[in-house]
Amino acid sequence: MKAKPFSTAFRIIKQLQYLKITLRQINIVVKTTKNILYTITPPRQFSLQLKELWQFRELFYFFSWRDIKVKYKQTLLGFLWAILQPLIMMSIFILFFAKSLKLSTDGIPPAIFYYSGLLLWNLFSAGISNAGNSMISHAGIIKKVYFPRLIIPLSSVLTACFDFLMALFVFFFILLYYYFTLDFSFAVGSFFLYLFFGLSLSILTAFGAGTLLASLNVKYRDFRYIIPFLVQFLFFVTPVIYPISVVADERLAYLLALNPMTGAIQLMRASFTNVPIDPVLLGISVTAAILIFMLGIFNFKRTEAYFADLA
């Protein structure tokens, strides 16, 4: 009987020792699993890795900053080019389409009509061509350094936004001139609202189509030739030089709305005209934009791991 407390104590000590050992084992496990900065495994599931994208946010800025800087280096007129291009195009359109051909502008002053269309169109076309070719032009970096590849097409679109902002600035002056000198009145508040939505839709589309083209371009270089052709084609099916209201057949208008830029430009011009926006048309454009965006990102993420082997 006397041995009992001993044995109990013994058991407790033994258990304590056991506990100590397991604690130490746990400690080892903790030690080996902590400090893991990253694990490299074969690519498996689809993940956006937004956290990583955020970690590299500065690179965004640097790529865009570099593109903008390089674009206007050693040019006489510099940033003025971003303004001159739409202004000259606008003048030509006024001269040929509005004055000579008397094409409808939905009652909007031709200058505003064409410039507003060109604003978004230039953003979109520069965005998809930049982004579409971006993976090829960055092949050297892709083969040598790791960073989330999505940054490259993203910053290409961002670069296009810079030119847009410059051109938008001029648009404000045109609007002010028409508002005060020519007594062209429009709802200023709704203009900004529509501008915001039209711009968002354009960027979403440019980014979606751009990433899709970029990932396809890495694998199939045919897209290098397809992209300029595609941009030219899209220009004609986007209501830049004509209002969508000239398309009499409703079904054809809805077909054109599959191009999200149709909806975006409609929104951009909505506050200047009495012609209301067709909600079905807008709905088609927005849905198409979201689908293109998702498809672009999905295909890009699915193939990005192998870019270094293909580029």
* Interface positions with another protein (CB under 8 A): 31-32, 35-43, 56, 58-59, 62, 66, 69-70, 73-74, 140-147, 218-222, 305-306, 308-310
CB of 299 to another protein, least distance (A): 15
Measure the CA dihedral 145/147/148/154, to 10°.
-90
Nearer to another protein, 1 or 145 (CB): 145
Nearer to another protein, 67 or 256 (CB): 67
Q: Which residues contact 48 (CB under 8 A, 6 or more apart)?
A: 297, 301
Q: What CA–CA distance (Å, rounded) separates 118 from 100?
A: 20
Nearer to another protein, 174 or 308 (CB): 308
CB of 55 to another protein, least distance (A): 9
Q: What CA–CA distance (Å, rounded) separates 5 from 9?
A: 6
Cβ–Cβ < 8 Å for 203, 126: no
Nearer to another protein, 231 or 308 (CB): 308
Nearer to another protein, 48 or 70 (CB): 70
CB of 83 to another protein, least distance (A): 22
CB of 142 to another protein, least distance (A): 8
CB of 157 to another protein, least distance (A): 19
Q: What CA–CA distance (Å, rounded) separates 72 from 215?
A: 27
Other CB atoms within a 10 A radius of the CB of residue 299 amount to 17
Q: What CA–CA distance (Å, rounded) separates 276 from 17?
A: 81
Q: At what angle do helices 110-137 and 80-93 cross, to 10 degrees?
A: 130
Give Cα 210 distance to the centre of its chain. Answer: 7
Q: Which has the closest alpha carbon to 235: 115, 109, 112, 118?
A: 118
CB of 298 to another protein, least distance (A): 18
Nearer to another protein, 146 or 196 (CB): 146
